[in-house]
Amino acid sequence: MTTATITDELVLAALKTVPEPELGKDLVTLGMVKDISICGGAVKFTVELTTPACPLKRMIEDDCKRAVSKIPGVESITVNMTSNVRRGHEGEKAPFAPGVKNFIAVGSGKGGVGKSTVAVNVAVGLAAAGAKVGLLDADVYGPSVPLLTGETMGPEEYMEKYPAKRGRLLHPGGPHEDPQYQILLQPVEKFGLKIMSLGFLVEADKAVVWRGPMVHGAIQQLLRDVDWGDLDYLVFDMPPGTGDVQLTLSQTVPLTGAVIVCTPQPVALADARKAFQMFETTKTPVLGLVENMSYFLCKHCNEREEIFGSGGAQKAAEEWGIPFLGSLPIDTQVRVGGDEGKPVMAFEGDPPIKKAFREVVERIAAEVSKKNAVRKRALPIVRT
């Protein structure tokens, strides 16, 4: 009896029937199939996902095995699932932080909706999935990332713990100038993140009273003069509203997209609409809307109570034509984690609040991959 010959072409033909559900094309067309190895009836290959936080990883793996198993003579199938995050901007590297593939802004139309908490947990969640992630506290007037990550320190302590280093400046004034060297600030490393905040550079009891140009310069410095290295994602915790920081980032950074955080009340949704309109005006893609404080789940009777109403963000997302990224409940663990400087996505185990955040993280990662698959975006003009 003659054993059927299994070839790379047969394996690729089988895998061409497997779609990547988020991207709308098959794995072969997307270039996600790598390193096919055939030994007798044993078939091995790698599927390179566009993010380690892919919510459909297990389904894609099962679909691959099912497709390849239909090839005559196949006895065993080994699928190595890896990831390679695509860059969110084409052409030259970003003028600031050139090693960053994707810049994600987390904003809100008003304060008090939990934007910083969402930004921190999204960053920690992406890192926990295996991505290389940075977190930049861009809320110049009220930086809260130091408190939320348990790294409250003044300038002297920061510089003692994280002394600046001499590094290479890749874009000192333009792509044609010779490389120069500069002093680079070192980000705080915690929870698998690289973290930077103006809160590390200004005394905690001193108010930041700056006009627009000073804010513009501070944001540029936090991007240009920090040793971010190579990152898959750099998450910005934006200040609330539609002011100077948002305009600076939109004009100087090739944002892959923005996440808008709101609560269910009509007043919060009205302000979220303003944030959405601002991002539209600056031609910043919106990855979607997150509804925070969506409901309260009693830990004694398990009854769900919608304290601020519920579902408003999902309806707004449908009306505005953007993805709804998920609902996050009111949970005392979020408050405790914030007070103690430990985000819930860094908690041990898998409590319900952590699962809710993970779903939001996975949807954001999926939206980034979708944007990168269908869009090529030129770098903005840098205004100094």
Digit-coded pLDDT (tens) for 151-195 = 988 888 988 898 888 765 544 444 444 555 677 899 999 999 999
Phi-psi map region of 289: left, alpha, beta (phi>0 left; psi -120 to 50 alpha): beta
Q: What is the mean pLDDT of residues 298-310?
A: 73
CB contact at 8 A, 147 and 246: no
Same domain, 191 and 315: yes
Instruction: Report pLDDT for 194.
Output: 97
Contact (Cβ atoms closer than 8 angstroms) between residue 157 and residue 135: no
pLDDT digits (tens, 9 = 90+) for 34-84: 999 999 999 999 999 999 999 899 999 999 999 999 999 999 999 999 999
126 occurs within a structural domain: yes
Q: Is residue 53 part of a domain?
A: yes
Q: What was the pLDDT predicted at 153?
A: 87
pTM metric for this prediction: 0.87
Sign, CA dihedral 339-344-347-353, equals positive
* Same domain (yes/no): 295, 146: yes
Q: What is the domain-level CATH number for residue 135?
A: 3.40.50.300
pLDDT confidence band for 219 (50 / 70 / 90): confident
Asked if 233 contacts 102 with a C-beta cutoff of 8 angstroms, the reply is yes
* Pair type for strands 100-107 and 257-262: parallel
Grouping H, G, I as helix, E, B as strand and the rest as coil, residue 379 is coil
Backbone angles phi, psi at 6, to 5 degrees: -100, 130
CA angle 343, 326, 268 (to 5 degrees): 90
Task: Map residue 291 onto helix, strand or coil.
Answer: strand
Cβ-based neighbours of 39, under 8 Å, separated by 6 or more: none
Q: Which helix (H) or strand (E) holds 44?
A: strand 42-49
Tell the burial category of 81 from Cβ atoms under 10 Å away from its Cβ (0-12, 13-18, 19+). middle
What per-residue confidence (pLDDT) applies to 383?
35
Pair (49, 174) in one structural domain: no
**Residues 189 and 59 occupy one common structural domain:** no
258-297 confidence digits (pLDDT tens): 999 998 887 888 888 988 988 888 888 999 999 998 877 7
CA atoms within 13 A on the CB side of 282: 28
Side chain identity at 247, as an amino acid letter? Answer: L
The residue among 29, 57, 83 that closes a domain is 83
* Per-residue confidence (pLDDT) for residue 205, from 0 to 100: 61
DSSP single-letter state for residue 303: -
The predicted structure's pLDDT at residue 179? 53
